Chain A
Amino acid sequence: MSQTPENFSANLAWRHRMGWLFAATCRLATWASVVFLVVILLVIVSRAWPRLTPEFLTHFDSYKPESAGMLAGILGSFWLILFTGAICVPIGVGAAIYLEEYARSNWLTRFIQLNISNLAGVPSIVFGILGFTAFVRMFGVPRTAIVLALGFADVRIPLPFGRSVIAGSLTLALLCLPVVIIASQEALRSVPASLRHAALALGATKWQTISRQVLPAAMPGILTGVILALSRALGETAPLAVLGAAYFITFAPGRINSASDLAQHPDRLLQVPFDQFTAMPLQIYNWVNEQSRDFQQQVSAAGIVVLLVVLVLMNGSAILIRQHFQRKIRW
C-alpha cells in the first residue's frame, strides 16, 4: 500500500489522537490507584479514630472493645520478623551468590532456578501447612524438651517446636526465601561484569572480588528485596493461622512485656524464640470476626492502621538504606 501525501497527513492526526488517548488512559490508571488508596485510608482512619490511643499500643487484647490493645501482636510480630530475617537473609543471599557467581549453568542449576521461581508463586497457606508438619510437629517426634542450663538462666527448648516463635519464623523464612533469592540474583546480575574483570585482572581472588566489589555494589538491590519480602511476611495471616498461633494471649514472647521487664530480666531474651506468640495480622483477623460491631469496625480498623504504619516504616527504611548504599557507589 503506497501512501499519498494527503492521506498521510490524515493518518497523522488519527495517530496523534491515538497517542493522546493512550496517554490519558495511563494517567487515569495511575490516578485510579491513588484514589482507591486515599479512599481506603480515609475510611480506615475515620473508623479507627476513636481507638487510636496510646493505650491501644500498650495494652493486651481484651473482650471489651474499649480496653483492647495490640501489644501482644506488635511484640509478637517484631520477634517473628527479626528471627525470620536472621534465618532468611544469610540463606537467601548465600544461595543467590552461589547461583550467580559460582554455579555453572547445567541442568541441575537450571532445575533449581526453575524451582525457586515456582516457589515464589506458591500460596502462603501451603508454606503454613509445610511449617506445621516440619516445625510445629516435626513429623510427629515424641515430645521432649531440652533444657540448657547456662548458670544464669535456663533455656527450655521444646521439641518439636510447637506453636513457638521459632516455628513461625522458620515458616515465614521459607516463604521469604524465593523472593530474597530472586531479588538478590537480579541485584548481582546488574553489577557490571567489567567490575569483576577489573578486580580479577588486578589479582584479587574470587572471594575478594565478590566480598569487596560485587556485594557492596549489589547491596541496595539485595536489601530492597529483603525488606520487601519481610514486609510481606509481616502481613501474612494464613500460614500463622495454620501453625495454630494463639489469638488471645496475655503475654509477649519471653514474657518481655515492657522495657522494664527487659532491663530486669535480660536473660529472658534467650527464651523468646521458644515461647508462644500472636501476630498483628492474626489479631486483626480475630477482631474482624468478633460479633460486636465495635470490634469489627473500630478496633480492627485501628489494628490495620498500626499494621500499615509499621509497613510504611519498613518500606521507608528500605528506601533510606538503598539511598545510603547508592551514595557510596559512583561509576
Chain B
Amino acid sequence: MLQRSKAGRIEIYEKFPKTGNIMMMKQVRTAATLCALGAVFFAVVPVGCRFESQNGSAPQLNETGGAPAAGGQVQAITVDGSSTVYPISQAVAEAYKANKPGIEISVGLAGTGGGFKKFALGDLDICDASRPIRDSEKEACEKAGVKFLELEVAIDALTVVVNPANDWVPCLSVSQLKKIWEPDSKVTKWNEIDPNWPDHKIELFGADTDSGTFDYFTEAVVGKAKQSRTDYTGNSNDNVLVQGVADEKYALGYFGYGYYAENPDRLKAVAIKAADDGECVLPSAETVDNNTYVPLSRPLYIYVNKQSLTRPEVAEYVQFYLSEAGQKLVTERKFLLMKANVQKVMQDRLAEALN
C-alpha cells in the first residue's frame, strides 16, 4: 500500500519521523555533551562567588585570569558629558593612549546635564562640561559623596554666522541680537533691524534647547538662560545648522567656533559689538585672548572625581590634558586656548589636588 501510493500524506508520514529521529538523536547527544561538560567543569574548578561593593569609582575590569599582557590590572578611564568638549577629550584620550597602550579610555557625549547626572552617581572618572556645574548638580554630588575638581581646559567662542552672499551685515550689536532672539520677538525681516537692509524674511538657525550652547547664548544675549524665541530651526547637530546657513542667503545662525572654522568657505562670521557704541569684533584666538570678543566667548571645563584622581592613570590623563602637548590638541580641534595665566592656575590647582 505504502509503496504503491505516492499520495502526499503518506509521503509526509514516511519522511518526517525519519528526520525527526535524526534531530532527536542530535538533541540528545548535544544535551548529553553539555551535561558532561558542566559536570566536569563544576567538579574540577572550584567555583567561588563574592560580592564587591563599589565606592564611587568607575567600573573597572579586574584581572581576567591567565597572564595579562600588561601585567596586573587593566587600567580604565571613563569620560562622558558635553558634546562640545567631546572632540577635545577624544583627541586627548587618543594621544594619551598612544604612549600608554595598556590604558583603556571611553569617551561619551551625553551632554553636560546628562554627564553630571552620571557623574553624581559615581559612574564617571571625568565629566566634560560646557558650563559650570549648577548648584542642584553640586548637591547631588555632595549627597552621593562624590568630591570633584573643576578645571578649565579651553575656550569656545560662540560665533554668529550668515551666508557668504550676505553683504549687508558686517557687524551686529548685542542689543540687535537680543531684539532678534528674545522671546516673542517681533522681528521677522532684515529691514526691521536696520532700514538699509533687505526687505526679506530672516531664516534663523540656532542650538536646540537641550544644549549648553543654547543656555550660554540665551544668557549672554537675552540676559536670561533658556529664554529665546521658538520659531527658528533648532538642531543639536550643528552640521544641520551649518548646512542651513550655507544654503540660505537670508539666514542667520549661531554655533560653536569650531564649526565655523571648519567651513570658512561656506559661512561668514559676523563681528559682535558688546555695546551699541562699541567696536565690532570678530571671533579669533587673538580677540578671545585679549578679552575683546565679549560676551560670546565661554570657558569649557572638565570635572574630575577626586577619588578617581588617586588612580595614577586618571591623574596622568588630566596632567596630559593641561600640558603643552594636550593643549596643542585644543587648537588642532579648532577650539581656542585659555589664557596662559589661567592655564597656570589650572595646573597649580591640579598639582595641589594631587598632593
A146 near B50 (CB under 8 angstroms)? yes
Chain B residues near A270 (CB-CB < 8 A):
64
B104 near A250 (CB under 8 angstroms)? yes
B45: interface (CB < 8 Å): yes
B333 near A265 (CB under 8 angstroms)? no
A212 near B262 (CB under 8 angstroms)? no
A265 near B108 (CB under 8 angstroms)? no
Option from B24, B62, B65 in Cβ contact (under 8 Å) with A212: B24
Q: A146-B50, A162-B123, A276-B106 are in contact. Are A211 and B20 (CB under 8 A)?
A: yes
A138: interface (CB < 8 Å): no
CA distance A296 to B266 in the complex (A): 15
A148: interface (CB < 8 Å): yes
CA distance A270 to B263 in the complex (A): 47
A62: interface (CB < 8 Å): yes
A265 near B66 (CB under 8 angstroms)? yes
B131: interface (CB < 8 Å): no
Q: Which A-chain residue is minimally distant from B46 (CB atoms)?
A: A151
A148 near B49 (CB under 8 angstroms)? yes
A150: interface (CB < 8 Å): yes
Give the secondary structure class of A's interface.
mixed
Which of B10-18, B195-203, B225-233, B278-286 touches A? B10-18
Chain A residues near B51 (CB-CB < 8 A):
144-147
Q: Using an 8 Å CB-CB cutoff, how does the interface string of B46-70 with A read, 1 for contact, 0 for none?
A: 1111111110000101111110110
Which of B87-95, B134-142, B214-222 touches A? B87-95
Count of inter-chain pairs, beta carbons less than 8 A: 166
B258: interface (CB < 8 Å): yes
CA distance A331 to B108 in the complex (A): 56
Option from B21, B65, B262 in Cβ contact (under 8 Å) with A291: B262
8 A Cβ contacts from A16-44 to B: none
B208: interface (CB < 8 Å): no
Q: Using an 8 Å CB-CB cutoff, how does the interface string of A283-300 with B read, 1 for contact, 0 for none?
A: 000101111110010000
B87 near A290 (CB under 8 angstroms)? yes
CA distance A150 to B47 in the complex (A): 5
CA distance A154 to B66 in the complex (A): 10
CA distance A213 to B9 in the complex (A): 13
B16 near A213 (CB under 8 angstroms)? yes
B110: interface (CB < 8 Å): yes
A139: interface (CB < 8 Å): no
Contact sample, A vs B, 5 pairs, CB 8 Å cutoff? A145-B54, A148-B49, A149-B46, A213-B20, A250-B104
CA distance A108 to B267 in the complex (A): 61
Nearest CB on A from B52, distance (A): 4
Chain B residues near A216 (CB-CB < 8 A):
16, 19-20, 23
Chain A residues near B69 (CB-CB < 8 A):
264
Q: Which B-chain residue is minimally distant from A194 (CB atoms)?
A: B9
CA distance A143 to B124 in the complex (A): 13
Chain B residues near A291 (CB-CB < 8 A):
87, 238-239, 256, 258-259, 262, 334
Q: A154-B63, A216-B20, A275-B61 are in contact. Are A250 and B334 (CB under 8 A)?
A: no
Chain A residues near B24 (CB-CB < 8 A):
211-212
CA distance A179 to B344 in the complex (A): 58
B237: interface (CB < 8 Å): yes
CA distance A248 to B81 in the complex (A): 12
